[in-house]
Amino acid sequence: MSKRYEYKTIIYKEGLIGSLLLGESKVNPDNLTEMLNKYGQQGWRVRTMERENRRSLLFFSREAFLIVLEREIG
């Protein structure tokens, strides 16, 4: 019998306040690690991750990560 998987897609970004005050906002690595560990405890693993800069309110940018998680089911 072949293995079956389920997937979850997350867009992880920090709040908008850093963008408004500083003109840009970067992801806090401690918060990202905590979030990934929380999902890891539930059996999820990172399948792929992509970093991007997203525009907010026309002039401000903030860093975001598109994360695809995978978990075996069955």
Q: What pLDDT does residue 26 have?
A: 74
Where exactly are the structural domains of the chain? 4-73
Helix H, strand E, coil C: the string for 30-68 is: HHHHHHHHHHHHCCCEEEEEEEEEEEECCCEEEEEEEEE
- The model carries a pTM of 0.77
Q: What is the mean pLDDT of residues 18-44?
A: 81
CATH 3.30.70 assigned to 4-73: no
Which has more pLDDT, 25 or 52?
A: 52
For residue range 32-74, what is the model confidence (pLDDT) as tens digits?
A: 999 999 999 999 999 999 998 876 666 667 788 999 999 999 7
Q: What pLDDT does residue 17 have?
A: 58
Q: What pLDDT does residue 14 have?
A: 75
Amino acid, single-letter form, for residue 44: W
User: Do the beta carbons of residue 13 and residue 64 sit within 8 Å?
Assistant: yes
Rounded distance, CA 49 to CA 28, Å? 16
Amino acid, single-letter form, for residue 35: M
